[in-house]
């Protein structure tokens, strides 16, 4: 069979490309690159020391020697570290010249090559903006192409963001193996992608899918037992060899070997060419950790390429060093008409029948949670610092110090978005590195950091509660205290509704719930006193005895109601489980039960498929994770709390899992009643266990669910049957939101971190919350990637139930409000601390409120020193610009999703921002701020439907502050305020 296949392939190549000399040779673009993971097996500093710094030092030297050579730089974190700490003045001068000549090209331009499945929209933009600002500030360049070769699947949000950033083409690689095979055979690896159903052609982008060889050069050499085309060998950790000679070198290119090398390379080029429509082949030269000794690389490839070109008529191939822009420019000039891909994504991702990469959606739950928390902290700190600078430009907070703290947190949040970072697919020491960077940066980021040290709780405590959103909110905040009674007062000395009760997770502390009302971007101060006679309602628990799963046959006899203005929840006293929820507005009851189930994972590669950091491959269906359940209900005047404890065995002393559900008592208040807040406790898990929260309902969803792409848009996930591994291949990422629905009802979950979700049976929504795995796969053991995660995790989900039309108005805002909850900042002595955190005058700050369908995506002072006029682009001043405010606004709704909220919104930015100060100028920019939108003209690719395309926004008049934001649009502005000096 192998011989027959080879003959068939040779014949196909003959007819595809003709006899040598009768057709134009295949034009091959050899793109030198090094894939450098910002984390994974080794820490960032270990990688810098072992190879990453050498990549840029040696590449700079080698490119400067020969004009034909090229290189693309992808991950900015490594380049920036090299530039700031390693590069000499001579090397910096060489880099600037190489960039000017177009021989060193920055691709993507973000801090990292971010993951696409479990990252949040906010953080994808941040890490890209962080890198783009540096590149524009330092070199005056703006990346226009992506190189997303290694993320584990491709979301539809990513191409939208790249288009908004001004990119002309997008490149992906990892998609389902069977889908890629079909696309190769049908020459459909290239297409125009319209990632957003609302934006359609407005933000379409040409997309190139790498073929089955992906981003690494083929390593097999038929004439040698050495790997091919990687002449500089394998990077050595922890230290590179002092003499610069690395082991495992490929066979050198000599007079004796050059023909065999050329024949191997040409055969691979022709094989790739058969899968694409044009006569131009992208041939990536490089792989992980390559080009740290690039003189060896280029000194072997130079004569090989020269030999092929000298014999191009015989080979039917020409080769040339190229950047990615040179390749895409040639494809663009081919002027072909391309097929259009709609808003569907390429998730989940599988490499083989039993290799579904859906486990990483839930790997390292703690890291996922801390990363999201750090992002939220950064968002709040950015808006608070921006407001402070506008109102008090000469205030006591040192602006350079504050910007340094913000930049540290920007860097930490950016780097963890790496596709082996937030995914949880890294080694334990790298996960610890990410956590350390995040926690240290969070501690230093808040402008009130001088007041955030551990506070000795005396007879009173002061807190500031800050709302970082541009919406008015009424909500409940929870302050942990050590006293059993308390009274709360606002900054006018008036008592505030509050409730105190024992903590669900600690016998030594108490939960103090406070009702707060805050305008957009407002803070308020509260005084907590701890008198013997509390003015806060003291809620007491009512306990229900432990129930065995053996008693489930009795279920439904004794139902206990818990009421709010929106819902009636019924709990079954025979099982201590939720029984049903009625959403009262339509008086419709939905049967709902929630409990925990476990998938058993195989740890022996000889026994079958395994689960690991990346892959989910269950031994079979999930089994119930408990034998008995206890319940406590704490009725309150502000919130009623239901605590359910799940025990592995009926006689166990300690519970394995828990659900804490908070139902707001909102009668006669402004508190939102549609939100049921749930927090879970899981762990430590048994080894080779993957735990899911299973919500089983009477909703007839036919195993179809919806989950979000990066918090930006919802994707329909239709259950599919496969020959193998159907269970795992029907898991999908949930970054913020997932729901199931039928004609009458929709059940929505919004999350504080990423998880995996599935609907394995009708009416079921299953969320994978935690995983602990070990296996004996040698590759995993060698790199310590077995995920023996013994942590206890406490993720949060908010649940909503209602009609499709009612929940459509809610879930986007709820997801945002869960992400950006009010920030509670304890302060020890206001008279000492307050001047360093918030201004005394004008307290509370005037609110800034956007319409309900618009979200303030960013409000920050980037601090870049470049001029926004590209004709100047490098400002002569070396100081950061503290007067340039970056404002980014997003329309939350899809086109046609809601009769009112999906309409375009016209706002006057001067009026909308008057609560912060007087706006004197607005200029619209690209997503990351480096392009003036009026001058941004992206390539327009021909498509079969010939839709009218306008990738250029209308230039606004200088005195016009009015903008219209359409469904799913994200618009970015530089805003300048009238200076206020006191």
Active-site residue, 150 included: yes
Strand blocks (E) in 60-140: 71-73, 104-106
DSSP-assigned letter for residue 49? I
Residue 57 burial (C-beta neighbours within 10 Å; 0-12, 13-18, 19+): middle
CA dihedral for 12, 13, 16, 20, sign (positive or negative):
negative
Could you tell me which residues are beta bridge partners of residue 570?
Answer: 561, 580
Active-site residue (options: 122, 150, 709, 789): 150
Determine contact, residues 477/516, Cβ cutoff 8 Å: yes
Contacts (Cβ under 8 Å, ≥6 apart) of 907: 850, 851, 854, 962, 963, 965
Retrieve residue 463's tokens.
């807190």
Count CB-CB contacts under 10 A for residue 11: 10
**In angstroms, rounded to a whole number, what is the distance separating the alpha carbons of residues 22 and 12?**
16
Count CB-CB contacts under 10 A for residue 338: 20
**In angstroms, rounded to a whole number, what is the distance separating the alpha carbons of residues 601 and 832?**
56
Strands 190-193 and 340-341: parallel
**In angstroms, rounded to a whole number, what is the distance separating the alpha carbons of residues 693 and 734?**
13
b/e sequence 416-449, b meaning 16+ C-beta within 10 Å = bbbbbbbbbbbbeebbebbbebbeebbebbbbbb
What's the length of the chain?
Answer: 982
DSSP code per residue over 653-690? SS-SEEEEEEEE--TTSS--SS-EEEEEEE-SPPTTEE
Count CB-CB contacts under 10 A for residue 335: 8
Residue 190, classed as helix, strand or coil, is strand
Mapped to the 3 state alphabet, what secondary structure does 816-863 carry?
Answer: HHHHCCCEEEEECCHHHHHHHHCCCCCCCCCCCCCCCCEEEEEEECCC
CA dihedral 968, 974, 978, 982 (to 10 degrees): 100
Helix runs in 66-117, H state only: 76-85, 89-101
What backbone phi and psi angles, to 5 degrees, belong to 910? -65, -40
**In angstroms, rounded to a whole number, what is the distance separating the alpha carbons of residues 669 and 673?**
10
Count CB-CB contacts under 10 A for residue 560: 16
Residue listed under structure tokens 């100060």: 917
Contacts (Cβ under 8 Å, ≥6 apart) of 372: 120, 752, 753, 754, 819
Contacts (Cβ under 8 Å, ≥6 apart) of 254: none
DSSP-assigned letter for residue 51? I
Determine contact, residues 685/770, Cβ cutoff 8 Å: yes
Using alpha carbons only, give the angle 321, 325, 331 rounded to the nearest 5 degrees.
95
User: Which strand ranges, in their side-by-side order, compose the sheet holding 854-860?
Assistant: 854-860, 885-891, 970-977, 919-925
Q: Helices (H) and strands (E) in the chain — how many of each? A: 21, 42
Determine contact, residues 941/204, Cβ cutoff 8 Å: yes
**In angstroms, rounded to a whole number, what is the distance separating the alpha carbons of residues 27 and 561?**
72
Which of 925, 702, 957, 952 lies closest to 125 in space, CA to CA?
925
User: Which strand ranges, in their side-by-side order, compose the sheet holding 523-529?
Assistant: 487-490, 523-529, 460-466, 823-827
Retrieve residue 542's tokens.
């009512």
Residue listed under structure tokens 């590149």: 135
What is the set of active-site residues? 150
């Amino acid at each position: 069979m192998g011989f027959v296949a080879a003959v068939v392939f040779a014949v196909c190549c003959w007819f595809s490309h003709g006899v040598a000399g009768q057709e134009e040779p295949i034009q091959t673009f050899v793109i030198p690159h090094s894939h450098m993971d910002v984390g994974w097996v080794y820490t960032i500093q270990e990688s810098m020391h072992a190879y990453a710094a050498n990549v840029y030092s040696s590449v700079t030297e080698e490119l400067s020697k020969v004009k034909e050579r090229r290189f693309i730089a992808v991950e900015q974190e490594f380049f920036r570290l090299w530039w700031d700490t390693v590069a000499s003045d001579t090397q910096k001068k060489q880099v600037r010249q190489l960039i000017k000549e177009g021989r060193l090209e920055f691709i993507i331009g973000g801090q990292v090559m971010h993951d696409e499945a479990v990252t949040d929209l906010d953080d994808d933009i941040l890490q890209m903006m962080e890198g783009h600002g540096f590149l524009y500030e330092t070199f005056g360049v703006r990346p226009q192409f992506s190189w997303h070769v290694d993320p584990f699947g491709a979301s539809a949000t990513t191409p939208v963001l790249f288009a908004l950033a001004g990119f002309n083409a997008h490149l992906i690689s990892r998609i389902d193996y069977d889908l890629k095979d079909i696309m190769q055979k049908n020459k459909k690896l290239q297409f125009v992608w319209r990632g957003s159903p609302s934006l359609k052609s407005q933000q379409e982008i040409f997309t190139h899918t790498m073929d089955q060889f992906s981003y690494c050069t083929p390593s097999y050499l038929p004439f040698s037992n050495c790997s091919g085309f990687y002449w500089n060998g394998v990077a050595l950790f922890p230290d590179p060899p002092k003499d610069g000679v690395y082991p495992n070198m490929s066979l050198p290119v000599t007079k004796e070997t050059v023909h065999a090398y050329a024949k191997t390379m040409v055969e691979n080029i022709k094989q790739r060419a058969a899968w694409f429509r044009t006569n131009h082949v992208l041939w990536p030269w490089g792989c992980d950790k390559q080009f740290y000794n690039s003189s060896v690389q280029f000194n072997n490839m130079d004569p090989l390429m020269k030999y092929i070109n000298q014999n191009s008529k015989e080979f039917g191939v020409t080769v040339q060093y190229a950047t990615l822009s040179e390749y895409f420019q040639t494809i663009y000039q081919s002027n072909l008409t391309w097929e259009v891909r709609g808003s569907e994504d390429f998730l989940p991702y599988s490499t083989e029948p039993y290799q579904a990469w859906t486990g990483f959606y839930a790997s390292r739950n703690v890291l996922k949670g801390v990363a999201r928390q750090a992002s939220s902290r950064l968002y709040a700190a950015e808006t608070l610092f921006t407001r402070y600078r506008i109102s008090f430009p000469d205030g006591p907070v040192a602006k350079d110090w504050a910007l340094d703290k913000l930049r540290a947190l920007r860097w930490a949040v950016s780097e963890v978005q790496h596709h082996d970072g937030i995914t949880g697919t890294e080694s334990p020491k790298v996960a610890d590195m990410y956590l350390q960077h995040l926690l240290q940066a969070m501690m230093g980021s808040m402008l009130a950091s001088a007041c955030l040290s551990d506070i000795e709780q005396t007879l009173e405590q002061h807190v500031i509660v800050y709302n970082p959103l541009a919406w008015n909110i009424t909500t409940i905040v929870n302050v942990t205290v050590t006293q059993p009674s308390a009274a709360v007062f606002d900054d006018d000395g008036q008592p505030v509704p509050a409730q105190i009760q024992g903590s669900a997770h600690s016998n030594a502390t108490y939960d103090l719930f406070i009702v707060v009302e805050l305008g957009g971007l407002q803070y308020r101060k509260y005084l907590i006193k701890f008198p013997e006679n509390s003015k806060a309602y003291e809620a007491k628990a009512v306990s229900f005895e432990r129930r065995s799963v053996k008693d489930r046959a009795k279920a439904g006899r004794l139902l206990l109601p818990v009421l709010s203005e929106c819902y009636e929840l019924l709990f079954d006293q025979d099982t201590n489980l939720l029984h049903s929820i009625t959403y009262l507005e339509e008086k419709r009851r939905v049967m709902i039960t929630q409990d925990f189930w476990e998938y058993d994972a195989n740890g022996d590669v000889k026994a079958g498929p395994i689960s690991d950091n990346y892959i989910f491959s269950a031994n079979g269906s999930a089994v119930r994770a408990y034998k008995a359940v206890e319940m406590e209900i704490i009725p309150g005047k502000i919130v009623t709390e239901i605590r359910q404890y799940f025990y592995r065995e009926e006689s166990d002393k300690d519970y394995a899992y828990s659900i804490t559900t908070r139902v707001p008592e909102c009668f006669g208040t402004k508190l939102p009643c549609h939100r049921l807040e749930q927090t879970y406790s899981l762990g430590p898990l048994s080894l080779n266990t993957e735990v899911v929260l299973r919500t089983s309902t009477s909703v007839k969803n036919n195993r179809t669910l919806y989950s979000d792409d990066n918090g930006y848009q919802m994707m329909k996930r239709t259950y599919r049957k496969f020959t193998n591994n159907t269970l795992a291949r029907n898991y999908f990422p949930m970054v913020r939101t997932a729901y199931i629905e039928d004609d009458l009802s929709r059940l929505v979950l919004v999350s504080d971190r990423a998880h995996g979700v599935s609907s394995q049976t009708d009416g079921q929504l299953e969320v994978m919350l935690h995983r602990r795995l070990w296996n004996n796969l040698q590759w995993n053991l060698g790199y310590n990637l077995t995920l023996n995660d013994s942590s206890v995790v406490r993720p949060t989900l908010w649940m909503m139930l209602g009609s499709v039309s009612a929940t459509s108005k809610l879930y986007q805002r709820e997801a945002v409000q869960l992400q950006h909850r009010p920030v509670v900042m304890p302060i020890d002595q206001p008279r000492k601390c307050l001047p360093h955190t918030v201004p005394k005058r004008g307290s509370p700050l005037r609110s800034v409120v956007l319409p309900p369908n618009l979200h303030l995506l960013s409000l920050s002072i980037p601090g870049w020193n470049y001029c926004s006029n590209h004709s100047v682009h490098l400002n002569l001043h070396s100081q950061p610009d503290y007067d340039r405010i970056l404002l980014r606004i997003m329309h939350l709704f899809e086109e046609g999703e809601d009769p009112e909220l999906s309409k375009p919104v016209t706002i006057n930015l001067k009026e909308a921002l008057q609560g912060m100060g007087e706006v004197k100028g607005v200029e619209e920019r690209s997503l990351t701020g480096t392009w003036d939108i009026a001058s941004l003209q992206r390539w327009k690719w021909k498509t079969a439907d010939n839709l009218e395309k306008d990738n250029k926004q209308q230039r606004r008049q200088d005195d016009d502050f009015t903008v219209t934001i359409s469904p799913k649009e994200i618009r970015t502005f530089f805003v300048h305020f009238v200076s206020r000096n006191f």
